Amino acid sequence: MSYECLEVAKEPPIATVTLNRPKQLNALGLALAKEIAEAMEALDIDPEVRAIVLTGGEKVFAAGADIKEMAEATPFDERVRTRMVFRDRLNRISKPIIAAVSGYALGAGCEMAMSCDIIVASETARFGQPEVNLGIIPGSGGTQRLARAVGKYRAMEIVLTGEFLNASEAHRLGLVNKIVPVELLLEEAKGLAKKIAAKPPLAIKLAKEAILKSFNTPLDEGIDFERKCFYLLLASEDKQEGMRAFLEKRRAEFKGK
């Protein structure tokens, strides 16, 4: 598949999706949101791909929703709703996604990074939810995910002031897994993706699902869900292979079965 505002590079077992709308600072307009959803879903069902890196350019990851598109939007605007449908599709991707963030990750761009599973940042990364400056609030899960990631008080400060965090502040708050020099960003993110891609895919998929479940369920229900996933994995070929390989002191060959 080819895309207008995206580049998709497959290097099995990983793939890299790069936002490519530099003149608009990768503003997440309807067309780009649609392409992200389509590319991610295609990779999610691609048997050669086990982990995905999502990145932007050196200067900008994504500067948020496209303000030009939104300027005249009303709550009844079909395009606004459609955009959110594309956005929700990203949250349903079952393979691990690593965000590699350099430069600005603002508004819906910050929210998109927070929808990923791991965030690697360059030293120049800037995170923020400046929506209040436009008379709106974060609308793609930012108030919820940010509060869960950094706690109530810091989330309040970030959202209510609209001020940006630099990479080390974001790292200190737990929003970022690792900071690297900009020239090493992709190498680091891809290395992490490859490390995860070498693990048994079913276990990775269910581990991701179970961790995400923890944000939506009481502890008892979450533990119940985890246990069911655990039992399910006992029936997988990869579990047999992983445990046998350990006992036979050899490298396991995982097949995702």
Q: Which is nearer to ligand DAK, 25 or 192 (CB)?
A: 25
Interface with ligand DAK, residue 101, by CB under 6 A? no
Interface with ligand DAK, residue 131, by CB under 6 A: yes
Are 79 and 30 in contact by the 8 Å Cβ rule? The answer is: yes
Residue of the chain from 16, 35, 64, 180 that contacts ligand DAK (CB under 6 A): 64
Q: What is the DSSP string of the chain?
A: ---SSEEEEEETTEEEEEE--GGGTT-B-HHHHHHHHHHHHHHHT-TT--EEEEE--SSEEE--B-HHHHTT--TT-HHHHHHHHHHHHHHT--S-EEEEE-SEEETHHHHHHHHSSEEEEETT-EEE-GGGGGT----SSHHHHHHHHH-HHHHHHHHHH-PPEEHHHHHHHTS-SEEE-GGGHHHHHHHHHHHHHTS-HHHHHHHHHHHHHTTTS-HHHHHHHHHHHHHHHHTSHHHHHHHHHHHTTS-------
Binding segment toward ligand DAK, per CB under 6 A, in 79-87, 180-188, 190-198, 238-246: 79-87
Q: Out of 39, 65, 116, 203, which residue is the one contacting ligand DAK (CB under 6 A)?
A: 65
Q: Is 32 in the site for ligand DAK (CB under 6 A)?
A: no
Interface with ligand DAK (CB under 6 A), residue from 67, 85, 132, 232: 67
Site string for ligand DAK, 150-189 (x = CB under 6 A): ----------------------------------------
CB of 40 to ligand DAK, least distance (A): 18
The footprint of ligand DAK on residues 190-229 (CB under 6 A) is none
Please report whether residue 115 would count as binding ligand DAK according to CB under 6 A: no
Q: Which span (100-108, 166-174, 209-217, 241-249) binds ligand DAK, by CB under 6 A?
A: 100-108
By beta-carbon proximity to ligand DAK, the closer residue of 75 and 218 is: 75
Task: Report the C-alpha gap between 113 and 104 in whole angstroms.
Answer: 11
Q: Give the interface with ligand DAK as residue ranges (CB under 6 A).
A: 24-25, 27, 63-68, 70, 80, 83-84, 104, 106-108, 130-131, 134, 139-140
